[in-house]
Amino acid sequence: MEMNRRRFIQGAGALFGWGALRSGGRAFAAPSGLFSQGTPNLTFGILTDIHLKQSGESFNGQAMFRKALEWFRDQGVDAVAVCGDMADGGMLAELQAVAQTWSAVFPNDAAPDGRHVERLFIYGNHDYGGTSAGSIRGLGLAEAWQQTFGETYTPVWRKEVCGYTFVGAHWTTGGCKGYDEVGIPEGATWITQNGATIDPAKPFFYLQHAPPKNTCLGPWHWGRDDGRITTALSSFPNAIAITGHSHASISDDRSIWQGAFTAINAGSLKYTGLEYGDLLPAVRENDGTIANNSGRIMSKIARDDGHQGLIARVYDDRIVFERRDFEDLGLLGPDWVMPLPMTEPVPLAFAPRAEASVPPEFPSGAALSARVGDVLEVEIPAANREGCPRVFDYKLEIEGSEGGSDERFVFAEGFHRSSGSVRANASMTCQVSAATLTATGGLNVKVFPRNSFGKAGAAISTTAVPSATVQAGLPDAFVEWVESNGTQYIDTGIKGRCNTSADMKIRWMLLNADASFLSSRIDGGNTRFILCSNSRKNKYYVCHKTWNESVNAGTSSYNTTGPDHVESSITHDGTDVTFTLRVNGNLEVNRTETTSAIDTNLNMYLFAQNKGGAADLKSSVRCYGVKIWQDGELVRDFRPCVKDGNVMFYDAVSKTMFKPFPAIPAEGNVNKDGLTIVVR
């Protein structure tokens, strides 16, 4: 079999034409025997945009950074690259926390077996952007670097690791613009002046923060630079540019690009972004740009749990890039494999890879359901057929029986998470304002699953039934949030027990001592099952066991000026109970105890605790929505709404209304005693 080895990744690299998916999402990158086996010459970890942020005496994001470093250490890496935005506020203390975390995992820059592990770190715009006292820039980029890492600072550095060259260019000037970034002017100059000194027979790796213009994710890639490095590297087919800044998901196979050189978007360890790629010419209902598209009603898809990175292994005849979800250490997709040597430029286009890619498909028996009133709601099962690539987004085609047609797009639930995660395998609901549709009469809805190149699999379809004839229990209008004044509560109908998790967007309005938002509690031993509560007036709290035995399973400060995204779970594996609590993407609690499981046999309440069947410790909280899972299955999806003049929650799972007690009437955008509403 003859083939151009440089073009292999174009035809088969990202969604490999030969690929057969294994369980967990791995794929064979090529037929057996095409590449040599053996130990890699070089192994290095790749992270970017870790954004350690000081919060009191701790640093948000530090635990996730350490988790990633420890995993790299256990893989036997020779180096770790961090492509900028280490210090979220540009503060020296934040940069020093990066160094301290590194030293805790690699003391004296060494692995446990004594091997040297190279630091390949660069500044990004957040590192550069601090202006207050104690900032990196206030001290000086060079002085801060030398104080923190104990090495001489230069705007562009060169390091050799296991015989391979790395070049890193710091962000040195100007703030973030989001396009045509000029923060790294020295990089292109260095390549032009020194590129000839790099061995052309081997790949070399160039690190900067901003993506090279017109490479990864196409011309709309958020945060791309002004094009100088694209021009400079175009003379070096052996160059591999690795960058960050956009937080674009590396589950998107456009995150690797090959033209005159290779460019790779490394994602983000902090959270997954959305402002990138083809988002401008093809907006999606849940991309969060409601202000620019007033007819859209969906909230931005949650991506605070998007903690991504790569590990690269370099062999004589190939480089393998493995994409990891550091939330659960699962794989984000098939490995990217680049044959070596890299000696020929290839066309500057995604088209060959898009054409060769394989689309996702719905599993056999998957079915849609749709209802329409003021809102068209389409419930979409996960397109995760065994043996097919993962879904990136869905395309909806809406045809009216009396004429008119519309198209809508929506990001797939968990598109940024590992293929084995709960979110990547969850169904989702797409909401479209009926007033924005041109289709009239009965609505026929088709949904196509698409990969990140926009290639669609087979559609499934249904006819939307008018909601008034389906259930009297559907909302008259959805609202943005519902606020309790501290006297109301809602029975969720879900028992408080182990293997329960919740995802909430809330804001505490009054800092009551020991007020609760989602929990159960039984008498006799005072045992509590708490997924979200506050403690000592200013902390989030998750707990399981008796109050006297475990006052705190962990706490985190909450934000009193805006809503917080809170994720929590209490699970039992037959021996141990594990508590987790994440606030705004930061893992605040991850604790395991050897103890028996608990089942309160009482329903959990919103805005209160269920103590022996009665509400207790009621709270003043503004709620934007709540999802509850048990044993990995979504059992509640509460959405604030108005029905028959009363404020309620609509559950999209059971398709029923949940009324607060006592009931509070709602009259437009008014603040009534009790619950306050704001209509979208």
- Are 463 and 512 within one domain? no
Q: Assess whether pLDDT exceeds 60 at residue 522.
A: yes
Query: Is 291 part of any domain?
Result: no
CB 383 within 8 A of CB 360: yes
Q: Tokens 């174009």 — which residue? A: 10
Confidence of residue 551 (pLDDT cuts 50, 70, 90): very low
Q: Give the Cα separation of 410 and 405 in Å (integer).
A: 17
Q: How many helices (H) and strands (E) does the chain have?
A: 10, 40
- Chain CA centroid to CA 298, Å: 18
Sign of CA dihedral 434, 436, 438, 444: negative
What distances in angstroms separate CA 58 from CA 28, 84, 94, 535, 586, one per listed residue? 42, 21, 10, 19, 12
Task: Find the mean pLDDT for residues 214-240.
Answer: 95
- Tell me the β-bridge partners of 648: 641
Last residue of a domain, one of 445, 470, 495: 470
Report which of 432, 425, 438, 308 is spatially closest to residue 377, judged by C-alpha positions.
Answer: 432
Last residue of a domain, one of 426, 447, 470: 470
Query: Is 663 part of any domain?
Result: yes
Q: Assess whether pLDDT exceeds 80 at residue 680.
A: no
Q: Give the Cα separation of 41 and 563 in Å (integer).
A: 48
Query: Is 616 part of any domain?
Result: yes
- Are 463 and 552 within one domain? no
Query: Is 517 part of any domain?
Result: yes
| 328-370 pLDDT, tens digit each | 999 999 999 999 988 765 554 577 888 889 999 999 999 998 8
Q: What is the pLDDT of residue 516?
A: 84
Q: How many domains would you assign to the chain?
A: 3
Q: What is the pLDDT of residue 509?
A: 81
- Are 325 and 225 within one domain? yes
- Are 45 and 163 within one domain? yes
Percent of the chain with pLDDT over 90: 55
Percent of the chain with pLDDT over 70: 83
Task: Find the mean pLDDT for residues 540-567.
Answer: 60
DSSP 412: P
| CATH number of the domain encompassing residue 392 | 2.60.40.10
Q: What is the pLDDT of residue 35?
A: 63
| CATH number of the domain encompassing residue 12 | 3.60.21.10
Last residue of a domain, one of 321, 356, 391: 356
- Are 466 and 525 within one domain? no
**pTM score, two decimals?**
0.71
- Are 128 and 208 within one domain? yes
Least confident of 86-100, 437-451, 525-539: 525-539
Q: What is the pLDDT of residue 346?
A: 56
**Which of 10 and 80 is assigned the larger pLDDT?**
80
> Between the ranges 375-389, 415-429, 444-458, 601-615, where is the mean pLDDT highest?
444-458
Find out whether the peptide bond into 341 is cis, omega within 30 degrees of 0.
yes
Q: Which residues contact 333 (CB under 8 A, 6 or more apart)?
A: 14, 15, 25, 27, 250, 251, 253, 323, 389, 390, 419
Least confident of 97-101, 167-171, 303-307, 430-434: 430-434
- Are 391 and 481 within one domain? no
Query: Is 299 part of any domain?
Result: no
- Are 230 and 165 within one domain? yes
| CATH number of the domain encompassing residue 583 | 2.60.120.200
- Are 236 and 380 within one domain? no
Hey, what are 589's tokens? 């609690």
Q: Assess whether pLDDT exceeds 70 at residue 291.
A: no
- Are 213 and 310 within one domain? yes
Query: Is 276 part of any domain?
Result: no
Q: What is the pLDDT of residue 634?
A: 92
Q: Which domain holds residue 375?
A: 369-470
Confidence of residue 163 (pLDDT cuts 50, 70, 90): very high
- Are 384 and 242 within one domain? no
Q: Give the Cα separation of 10 and 347 in Å (integer).
A: 9
Confidence of residue 10 (pLDDT cuts 50, 70, 90): very low
Confidence of residue 476 (pLDDT cuts 50, 70, 90): confident
Query: Is 300 part of any domain?
Result: no
Q: Assess whether pLDDT exceeds 50 at residue 20.
A: no
What distances in angstroms separate CA 267 from CA 248, 513, 523, one per listed residue? 5, 40, 48
Task: Find the helix or strand (DSSP H, E) in which 188 lies.
Answer: helix 185-194
| 555-596 pLDDT, tens digit each | 556 666 678 888 999 998 888 888 888 888 888 788 888 878
- Are 378 and 316 within one domain? no
| 165-200 pLDDT, tens digit each | 999 999 999 999 999 999 999 999 999 999 999 999
Query: Is 266 part of any domain?
Result: yes
| 141-154 pLDDT, tens digit each | 999 999 999 999 99
Q: What is the pLDDT of residue 28?
A: 31
